[in-house]
Amino acid sequence: MKTVNQRAWFFVLPVLLLVAFNALVPLMTVVNYSVQETFGDNLFFWHGVGWFEDVLRSERFHAALGRQLLFTFLILIIEVPLGVAIALAMPRKGFWVPVCLVLMALPLLIPWNVVGAMWNIFTLPDIGLAGYTLNEVLGINYNMTQSPLAAWITIIVMDVWHWTSLVVLLAYAGLISIPDAYYQAAKIDGASNWSVFRYIQLPKMKRVLTIAILLRFMDSFNIYTEVFVLTGGGPGNSTTLLSIDLVKTALGQFDLGPAAAMSLIYFLVTLLVSWVFYTVMTKDEP
């Protein structure tokens, strides 16, 4: 019989404490708020699942969730194929490798609110480089503070600019790990370029792409700063994504109960989608 030693649990304790204070305690506070009603003065009344019912029935929530899903869907179907395509086009060896890698990494190094501010100025119709060029040189009427479509195009392009690099770098890491023999064997087997991509490169990139999609899903689903700085959720509510709506509810209107219920639903949606996606993608792996 092997003696069971429980002392190892002590090593987990610091992490447990850390997680408790930065995740579990705040989360439980939110849970606490989500089932109560307050009128100020630190007076709370039990409200059951009322807030959850309200939020789930609220058209405002549905609209924000819809916008959020649309945003995430659009950036994923643009960034993932684009990122893979760029990674495929990047050189595998030689002088240009570090140059490409640094260029690709640059957008990732810029703080989120700076990205929002940059794009805000960039797209101003009278002085911004893009805004001026579109309006004055090309004659296209473009003003993202007036047109919801222009606002949407701008936030999508901004996100693509900011985050495609992440997909590129991960996909590239997957690509360069493929031994030359695979390409040589494929050549000898008479495989077309498409077959090489389909049967060698894509399967070898599957793991890193799973991670890339997961990261991009979570980040874009929770996006706040860039869009808030750029459009403030407007014009009207057209770019009010879930997180922006949540902050408006919680801090603008100080509706703690509904905001807490909304946070939890938001959190569960993110968790559920991530879990389902990851489980499906890795189900074949031994």
By the criterion CB under 8 A, which residues form the site for another protein?
A: 179, 181-182, 184-185, 187-192, 195, 199-200, 203-204, 284, 286
Q: Of the two residues 53 and 189, which places its CB atom closer to another protein in the complex? A: 189
Q: Cα–Cα distance between 176 and 198 in angstroms, integer?
A: 16
Q: Report, in Å, the least distance between residue 185 CB and another protein.
A: 4
Q: Of the two residues 85 and 196, which places its CB atom closer to another protein in the complex? A: 196
Using CA atoms, how far residue 57 sits from 51, 82, 96, 258, in Å, is 10, 37, 54, 12
Q: Report, in Å, the least distance between residue 182 CB and another protein.
A: 5
Q: Report, in Å, the least distance between residue 79 CB and another protein.
A: 24
Nearest residue to 208 via CA among 181, 239, 177, 237: 177
Q: Cα–Cα distance between 241 and 253 in angstroms, integer?
A: 17
Q: Report, in Å, the least distance between residue 205 CB and another protein.
A: 11
Q: Of the two residues 112 and 182, which places its CB atom closer to another protein in the complex? A: 182
In a 10 Å sphere around its CB, with 0-12 CB exposed, 13-18 middle and 19+ buried, how is residue 112 labelled?
middle
Q: Of the two residues 46 and 194, which places its CB atom closer to another protein in the complex? A: 194
Q: Cα–Cα distance between 79 and 81 in angstroms, integer?
A: 6
